[in-house]
Chain A
Amino acid sequence: MSASDTPAAPLANASPEPRHGLRLLAGWLTLSVAACLAIWFAWYPHLPPGVTSDSSTHQQFDIAVLAVIAAPVVIGVLLYFGYAIVVWRARPGDEGDGPAIYGNTKVQATWIIGTTMIVLGLFVFGTVELVGPAGAGAGEGPAPIWKLSGTQTTAWTPGGNDILQVQVIGQQWAFTYRYPQFGGMESTVLDLPANTPIEFHVTSLDVIHSFWAYLLGVKADANPQVDNVAYTTVKTLGGFTVHCSELCGIWHGAMTTSGTILIPGAFRTWATGVQAKEQSEGVLAALPPYALTYDPTVIPQLGQNIVKIDGITGGAGYYYGSGNPVTP
């Protein structure tokens, strides 16, 4: 049932009913414009996750746009409720009822259409921002559909458009990283070249972990027997931290590793250096062959002496011995 919202005519000697709608609209417009400008120009550059990589830049842009759209909604609702509880509170001694307004088709229709349009717009925006930057740093599973353009090679060279493949192996309670284009060498730190398309293959040896390089804008769950692919291109040099963001047991909170972003030449030097070192120490030969997933129960190198050389565990698990875990 809907009825008109025109109130009854005010008493002859009362002041005319103030134009509540206009007041609210004026206040809302002013505050919204101010808030949107403040968000876009003052807050945007400081929003998480920063501009370290392509994915993180896109995510930061997304958050800023969403904030600019959300701010007028928040301001509208809060302003309305604040206005209502001040202007329309029951005065002392007033035992009367409010006007019996059961509905107003115009108001309802405006609200429904307005919110629908905002929501559909956000959907289109979100999809474009997801598809455009190759999945926006989110893990896409074993068969990714939004990929970075670049050349798939078995030997990565800097300067060209070769995609660098990095495998992230999560286990209780550490991340290690293997670089198949450098002989499958394994490292405990994640060093990456700048301005290069990077393809992460995230997998786990035991329970579900999640590879979360916050500054790079990458988050991909590590499931056992699953190869979860995520893409990014890092832009700025510097250090970053990797955390685990899926509860994986008692030392989940201690599963952090660090990484550095180097210029491509320096990265290649580092990677070939680690490869040579592991070759000479016999680690490379002892590691299981590079594969997209590992099953620790069937890896033949299980129990061999490859654990605990420079922290490498070779996809065999047992980062901690079978006794109680030691405080990291």
Chain B
Amino acid sequence: MAIEVQPERAEPARHRFEVVGANRPWWLRPGVLTGVIGAVAGYFLGHWLGNLLGGGYDRSSLADTNDVAIVLGYAFGVIGWLVGLGVFNDLFQMMLGRHLREESRLLSVREPGLGRYFRYTLDHKVVGIQYLFGMIVYFLTGGLFAMAIRSELLSPSYHLIGPQQYLMVVGEHGTMMMMMMSSVILGPFGQYFGPLLIGSKRVAFPRLEALGFWLTVPAYVILLSAVLMGGFPTGWTGYEPLATQATQGEDAYFFAFGLMGISMILAGFNMIVTIINYRAPGMRWNRLPMFVWSMFIVSFLQVLSVPVLVGACYMALVDRTFQTAFFANQLGGSSFLYEDLFWFFGHPEVYILALPGFGVISEIVSVFCRKPLFGYKVSVAGMLGVGTASFLVWQHHLFDSGINPDMRPLFMLTTEIISIPTGFIFLVAMGTFWKARIRFSIPMLFALAFYFNFLIGGISGVFLSDVPADTT
């Protein structure tokens, strides 16, 4: 277990703030601009290749569209985006045996100015801010879709948008929120504060970390491009026989979700190694801040559950393009398989959303109660329990589907049991509130609202874990 003790590449003080990379103007350096150029070029290349490969299918001529071309266009477009952004520059330099330009990109103090936020910068704080703005944009878009839903629902008789468009808006809203928001705390706060809280200057894999962010941008754009193709009719879950039947927008859904999945896997992997290996000397496990524990556990959830989603998206895409039959019941496949794969990811996904929140509010309440957190070990045990048990409950999304009725009591048990470690979060909060000196600043108000909201969520979970009540 190595702890980082050497400052990397310590240099004489006179060079400490030497600005690097300033010998070319910003529009000639790899960044978002060159990324967009690469993406467009890649999309055209992929689309052409797809037409070459898949243009002869009956399905393509009947539907007057070629899913192979669309998917390959997205794939090559993403590769072009990354190439244009300069993600592979270091890799190619190493392959050619040249020295890397400089690790100084790890410290963005060397590159002052706003431009570093629009480039493939490796400084974890810059990546954190990039994530923050990205998540704000994605959340805003999802929220605007929600406002469109609400506007349509204002009146039962007057219709703002037609049925096809409404289904599209509902699907886009759900997918934008669930897909993009899964990194809403791990991204901005985890990347920015994680290394700081463990006493490290850097993360273990800065290139993977930055790549994780830059993959969210094409995921967002690809998901939005579904709007141009009439949207997708499956909602955010993408259930299978309907997803194969759907038109082009569904390709955008699966591809964007898969891309976001890859981003989550990389971010999680990076965070695990950083927290294990880059803690400052003396930062023992039983001294880790609660937020870092939650980041650590969430990262395991991401690394272990998201590949299943990426697999499901991949299989669905080849079902749609290259006419495989993974999920086509009439050809020997199984729609149940898609449901199982999706929800095996889907349940840890909701804990990926919730656990960082637990970490954040544990930090907040101890500060604004002016007391140390009650029951540090209990809190850690709760988060570990939630993380572990989250892999054992997914069938509760499938209680009425006809899958394995004999397993239902088991999944009822595990779903009930997961409420125990979740309750520890409340135990810790209630203990911290005991005889405290509570100050009602804005973060504390948010934390109180979180407990109220999560009480509703947790108690309704008790009802839904019971199969008969769930059937109602």
A225 and B375 in contact (CB under 8 A), knowing A59-B468, A208-B335? no
Query: Does residue A323 face the partner (Cβ distance < 8 Å to B)?
Result: no
Measured in the bound complex, the distance between the Cα atoms of B408 and A145 in whole Å is 11
What distance in Å separates the Cβ of B214 from its nearest Cβ neighbour in chain A? 32
| B466 close to A66 (CB less than 8 A) | yes
Listed stretches A30-38, A102-110, A179-187; interface member: A102-110
Of B163, B371, B402, B434, the contact of A141 (CB 8 Å cutoff): B402
Interface centre among A55, A146, A250, A297 (most CB of B within 10 A): A250
Are the CB atoms of B438 and A88 closer together than 8 Å? yes
The verdict on A29 contacting chain B, using a C-beta distance below 8 Å, is: no
Question: Among A74, A107, A115, A247, which residue has its beta carbon within 8 angstroms of that of B431?
Answer: A107
Residue pair A145, B469 in contact (C-beta under 8 Å) = no
Q: A202 to B400, alpha carbons, bound, how many Å?
A: 11
Closest to B238 in A: A247
CA distance A198 to B226 in the complex (A): 44
CB contact between A207 and one of B245, B419, B467 (< 8 Å): that residue: B245
Interface set, chain B 363-383, CB cutoff 8 A to A: 369-372, 374-378
A144 to B400, CA, bound (A): 12
Q: List the A side residues contacting B61 at CB < 8 Å.
A: none
B346 nearest CB across to chain A (Å): 15
Question: For chain B, which range describes its interface: under 10, 10 to 19, 20 to 34, or 35 or more residues?
Answer: 35 or more
Q: A145-B405, A246-B239 in contact; A62/B423 too (CB < 8 A)? A: no
Bin the interface of chain A by size: 35 or more
Distance of A193 Cα from B461 Cα, bound (Å): 35
Q: Which residues of B contact A74 (CB under 8 A)?
A: 455, 459
Known A101-B374, A208-B335: A115·B420 in contact at CB below 8 Å? yes
Contact with B along A241-252 (1 / 0, CB 8 A): 000001111110
CA distance A89 to B468 in the complex (A): 43
| Binary per-residue interface labels of chain B (159-181) against chain A in the complex, 1 for a CB within 8 Å, 0 otherwise | 00001100100000000000000
Of B47-55, B98-106, B196-204, B409-417, the one contacting chain A is B409-417
Query: Nearest Cβ distance between residue A171 and chain B, in whole angstroms?
Result: 12
CB distance from A276 to the nearest CB of B (A): 34
Residue interface mask B238-273, A partner, CB < 8 A = 1: 011110010000000000000000000000000000
Chain B nearest Cβ from A81, distance in angstroms: 6
Q: Are B241 and A207 in contact (CB under 8 A)?
A: yes
| Cα separation A123 to B29 with both chains bound (whole Å) | 61
A157 close to chain B: CB less than 8 A: no
5 pairs of A and B residues whose beta carbons are closest in the complex: A136-B468, A98-B371, A225-B329, A228-B402, A141-B402
| New A-B pairs, 8, CB < 8 Å, besides A73-B459, A123-B412 | A62-B469, A84-B434, A104-B375, A123-B409, A219-B472, A224-B329, A247-B233, A249-B167
List 27 A-B residue pairs with CB atoms under 8 Å apart, sorted by A's residue number: A55-B468, A56-B472, A63-B463, A74-B459, A77-B455, A80-B430, A81-B433, A84-B434, A90-B370, A101-B434, A103-B375, A123-B412, A126-B465, A126-B466, A127-B409, A135-B405, A136-B467, A136-B471, A142-B402, A207-B241, A217-B471, A220-B402, A221-B400, A224-B335, A247-B234, A249-B167, A249-B245
